[in-house]
């Protein structure tokens, strides 16, 4: 039996990637289908990625997801110069992520010393009988450049007493539960002043900071660990469990005991992930309701602006000043003034989002219309698009959730987290001529017509495929009618059967065959992802005469 394989490039705006410090998306997000297809023997999936962003301290790994939000790392079977391969037994959604290189060790009961391959000054020493069984351990080292400390001190007065830091060391035991050490384990890191080659006159003090997995809060744990040895070149301290560690040097003014608080150090660590970006907002020259937003590294902004001009867009140069965003930052776009996102009766949201990825395109299209007040006529739509950084997504691997909850309780970390507010970034002007809005309104009404409903069938049959029988049932077909469609000559695969079924439904129901009915049936059939796709494609599919994108095409890019 032959199986038709599909490959679709997913817009990064449509997935949630829980990137941690030092991680970035370096490939397209690919969905291989039919989704959930299983194989009798493992098959190899090879992913291409942008290798320019990697260096000796980083590596490329493949993440997989079933629902676009929960991800796990796959074991790499083969690596090339700009590709990485994994073995899988079913199809899902795949992405290549750059991360600090991970060293893997197995610690025996006889004791062991682990040395980082990227930073040999980082060592973990297990004494004999520290563990009672062989224990797999991983080490990741994230370098902290000297300029990071210099820049953050120049921008934030609260860092003036910071002299230097060690690299960030992340040590984990590969286990679903907490591993108990029967004896303290010694962690060695470079001395911050030696690591950053800093000469400082005056008294200083060392502080050991830790950050538990699943949080971004760095806590001063100097009083909870034993600093066993300090030389000009390194610092050693003893721990009873593993997490993320960093050692800092701060000035000691008259024996001041004030600590560098967790929020401040979090700012420094987040700064390492920040990139200066600029926003571009441009308008289609031949369709003034169509806008495109680009969120791009500052050094690429002028080139992206020039490229959009060549594609038929018009608009001012990018925002004058760069804004710092971290990898995977989700930005909400809100309209202010007498302008609004055009909606067309398909549940499309007025909330728009764009996600920043420095190594991949961050582009978002939207249709904007002028708002008419009851006592005003003939006014152009004038306002602005305001950009807000949403709180960072924190996703904990499900298998470690119970363990992490216990760790947080033991350390007196409250389990609940205060909801953070979006942060205003900038705003750009929007001008929509009133004449074009009239056309949008007319198109919106037209999209509710029966003729327009049929334009969604191509997308639906591509997305539904093997699940067409479930959709048919919830559209009111009897099983005998479904079997007749399945056995009809010319219906050689599930996609053609799905299209035949949709056309038959349209013929039978007439004016009652509406998009709303179709979306309700899709939802009842457990095909919510197709409903979400219809909402997203509604502007392009139903209202501007365009054919829905085929699977494998990126609907986010302008024509």
CA 349 to centroid of chain Cα atoms: 20
Q: CATH for 6-100, among 2.60.220.30, 1.20.1070.10, 1.10.1370.30, 3.20.20.140?
A: 2.60.220.30
SS (H, E, C) 243-259: CEEEEEEEECCCCCCCC
> What is the rounded CA–CA span in Å between residue 250 and residue 243?
22
> What is the rounded CA–CA span in Å between residue 363 and residue 354?
7
Closest Cα partner for 498 from 528, 530, 520? 530
448-542 folds as Death Domain, Fas (1.10.533)
Q: With respect to CATH, is domain 102-260 assigned 2.60.40.1930?
A: no
Tokens (6 digits) for 226 = 């034993």
The ranges of the chain annotated as CATH 2.60.220.30 are 6-100, 102-260
How high is the pLDDT of residue 176? 58
How high is the pLDDT of residue 369? 84
Q: With respect to CATH, is domain 277-439 assigned 2.40.110.10?
A: no
> What is the rounded CA–CA span in Å between residue 89 and residue 83?
20
Closest Cα partner for 169 from 137, 147, 200, 206? 137
The ranges of the chain annotated as CATH 1.10.533.10 are 448-542
Closest Cα partner for 434 from 343, 372, 342? 372
Residue 195 phi/psi, 5-degree rounding, is -60, -40
The answer to whether the peptide bond before residue 34 is cis (omega within 30 degrees of 0) is yes
User: By the 8 A CB rule, do 536 and 367 touch?
Assistant: no
How high is the pLDDT of residue 187? 95
What are 7's strand-pairing partners? 32
Tokens (6 digits) for 173 = 């035991």
How high is the pLDDT of residue 54? 78
Q: At what angle do helices 457-464 and 515-524 cross, to 10 degrees?
A: 10
User: By the 8 A CB rule, do 195 and 248 touch?
Assistant: no
Over the chain (559 residues), the average pLDDT of each successive run of 10 is: 78 85 88 80 91 82 89 88 90 91 90 92 92 88 88 82 92 72 92 93 89 78 92 94 89 59 62 84 88 91 90 82 87 88 52 86 84 60 89 53 45 45 87 63 43 65 81 90 78 75 85 84 86 65 38 39
Closest Cα partner for 245 from 271, 278, 222? 222
Closest Cα partner for 317 from 326, 333, 305, 329? 305
Closest Cα partner for 263 from 271, 254, 251? 271
pTM for the model stands at 0.67
> What is the rounded CA–CA span in Å between residue 509 and residue 518?
11
Element of type H or E holding 439: helix 434-446
């Amino acid at each position: 039996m032959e199986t038709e394989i599909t490959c679709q490039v997913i817009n990064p705006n449509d997935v949630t990637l829980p990137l941690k410090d030092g991680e970035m998306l370096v490939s397209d997000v690919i969905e291989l289908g039919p989704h959930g297809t299983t194989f009798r023997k493992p098959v190899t999936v090879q992913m291409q990625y942008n290798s320019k962003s990697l260096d000796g301290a980083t590596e490329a790994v493949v993440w997989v997801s079933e629902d676009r939000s929960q991800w796990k790392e796959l074991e790499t079977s083969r690596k090339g110069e700009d590709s990485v391969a994994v073995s899988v037994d079913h199809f899902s959604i795949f992405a290549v992520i750059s991360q600090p290189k991970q060293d893997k060790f197995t610690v025996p009961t006889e004791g062991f010393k682990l040395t980082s391959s990227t930073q040999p000054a980082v060592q973990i020493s297990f004494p004999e009988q520290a563990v009672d069984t062989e224990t797999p351990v991983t080490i990741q080292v994230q370098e902290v450049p000297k300029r990071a400390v210099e820049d953050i001190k120049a921008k934030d007065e609260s860092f003036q007493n910071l002299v230097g830091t060690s690299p960030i060391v992340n040590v984990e035991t590969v286990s679903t539960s907490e591993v108990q050490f029967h004896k303290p384990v010694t962690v060695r890191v470079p001395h911050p002043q030696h690591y950053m080659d800093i000469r400082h006159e005056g008294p200083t003090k060392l502080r050991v900071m830790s950050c538990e997995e699943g949080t971004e809060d760095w806590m001063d744990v100097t009083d909870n660990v034993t600093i066993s040895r300090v030389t000009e070149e390194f610092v050693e301290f003893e721990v009873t469990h593993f997490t993320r560690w960093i050692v800092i040097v701060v000035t000691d003014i008259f024996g001041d005991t004030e600590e560098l608080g967790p929020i401040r150090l979090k700012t420094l660590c987040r700064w390492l992930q920040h990139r200066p970006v600029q926003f571009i907002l441009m308008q289609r020259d031949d369709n003034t309701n169509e806008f495109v937003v680009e969120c791009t590294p500052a050094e690429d902004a002028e080139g992206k602006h020039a490229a959009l001009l060549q594609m038929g867009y018009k608009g001012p140069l990018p925002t004058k000043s760069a804004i710092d965003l971290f990898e995977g930052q989700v930005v909400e776009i809100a309209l202010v003034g007498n302008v609004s996102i055009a909606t067309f009766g398909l549940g499309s949201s007025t909330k728009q989002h764009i996600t920043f990825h420095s190594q991949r395109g961050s582009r978002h299209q939207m249709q904007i219309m002028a708002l008419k007040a009851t006592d005003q006529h003939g006014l152009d739509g004038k306002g602005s698009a305001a950009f807000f950084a949403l709180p960072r997504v924190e996703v904990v691997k499900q298998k470690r959730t119970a363990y992490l909850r216990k760790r947080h309780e033991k350390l007196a970390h409250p389990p609940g987290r205060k909801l953070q507010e979006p942060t205003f970034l900038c705003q750009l002007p929007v001008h929509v001529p009133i004449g074009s809005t009239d056309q949008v309104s007319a198109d919106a009404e037209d999209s509710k017509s029966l003729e327009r409903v049929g334009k969604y069938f191509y997308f639906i049959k591509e997305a539904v495929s093997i699940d067409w029988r479930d959709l048919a049932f919830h559209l009111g077909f009897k099983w005998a009618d479904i079997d007749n469609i399945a056995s009809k000559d010319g219906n050689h695969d599930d996609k053609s059967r799905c299209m035949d079924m949709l056309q038959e439904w349209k013929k039978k129901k007439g004016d009652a065959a509406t998009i709303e009915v179709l979306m309700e049936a899709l939802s009842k059939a457990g095909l919510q992802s197709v409903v979400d796709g219809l909402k997203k494609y509604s502007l392009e599919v139903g209202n501007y005469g365009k054919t829905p994108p085929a699977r494998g095409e990126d609907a986010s890019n302008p024509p």
